[in-house]
Amino acid sequence: MKNFLISSGANLVIILISFFIFKNIISGPTRHRIYEKLMSSFAKYVLYIFVATVVITVLTALVLYKTRYIAYVNIAAPALVSILVGFIASTVPTRGAGDEKKEATHK
């Protein structure tokens, strides 16, 4: 149980770090376009995330197997998936469609 808590805490930190890195590197309109493309259909979004997670896990397992570090697959694969989760979370718009109109009327 202790190892699980340590691993989940580390993954949470990785998610937060990657979230802020992607949010600062990618401009708002670009992030919004990525979000619109991913969320055009929730079913496609879920499938994309599932496929990406499987690909990341399989590639990580193959690399670790070839380098004889397969014992670390349960640490490395979730960490890499956490980076993906941080990226996806950073693409979610923080303002609604009507926020610009509201700001203009309040000035």
Mean pLDDT, residues 16-32 taken together: 93
Whole-model pTM: value is: 0.80
Q: pLDDT of 37-49, one tens digit each? A: 888 788 888 898 9
Tens of pLDDT, residue by residue over 48-80, are: 899 999 999 999 999 999 999 999 999 999 999
Burial of 107 (0-12, 13-18, 19+ CB in 10 A): exposed
Integer Cα distance of 65 and 69 in angstroms: 6
